[in-house]
Structure 1
Amino acid sequence: MASRDLSVDFLGVHFQNPFCLSSSPVGNCYGMCAKAYETGWGGVVYKTLHTDDFKVNEVPPRFDELTKECTPFVGFKNMGQIAEHPLESDLAAIRCLKAEYPTASSSPRSWARTRASGRSSPAPRRPPAPTWWR
């Protein structure tokens, strides 16, 4: 089977392909992001982080009757706008993702170092289970 090069350069970042997880519930933790990279996704936009003094207030309902141009329909409200995990937990997950998948780095220095060496960083230990999950 012939393979195609789907790689793209976007704002100075090289992606193996243009398919990235969005900043949404699917880009919400280490496990989901690592699985995306393992299955071939080109990148991840991690969920918006917050400081620990910020109170996340996700209020139901998630579905609602919405109206556009006088036509009612049922749809999702804009949910999941911010990560509900503690900041240090998310930062630990991002550090591990950056080390295991160096092209996922958000640091231009890291991109240059990885590209120049032609190799990836040694895989770190996976982040410990966050305390909020126990």
Structure 2
Amino acid sequence: MDGATLHEVTVRTALALPAVEETQPFGADSVVYKVVGRMFVLATELRGVPIVNLKCAPPHGAALVRDLAEVSPGWHMDKRHWITLAPGDGLDETMVEDLVANSWELVVAGLPRARRPLDAARRSNPGA
């Protein structure tokens, strides 16, 4: 997967998830996606190479770092709980979509129940 596609798939996937907002707290060169005010994706460039930072459960992240050259510990993030994706043949669209969705799920799971987007939707529509 090339860098432009990495960013495109990441952005498309992040924006399709519930309660997501796009922000640029670090300047015009970096885009951050948040759910209920908490970051779950950072899309930026490192030395001219598009990268994506995602929250990831430590055992899963460690396995990805071990097995894929395109995955490294989170750049400028907590190295246990974040990973960085870089362009390369080891990534495909489905994997990136799954990792973005998993990052969103981890952040939502850490929110108080009353602030979780899916729990709020269920309360307003109990039959769902």
TM > 0.5: no
TM range (shorter): under 0.3
Give the structure with the higher percent helix: 2
- Report the structure number with the largest CA radius of gyration: 1
**Structure showing the higher strand proportion among its residues:** 2
TM-score norm. by structure 2 comes to 0.25
Higher relative contact order (CA 8 A, sep 6+): 2
TM-score (normalised: structure 1): 0.25
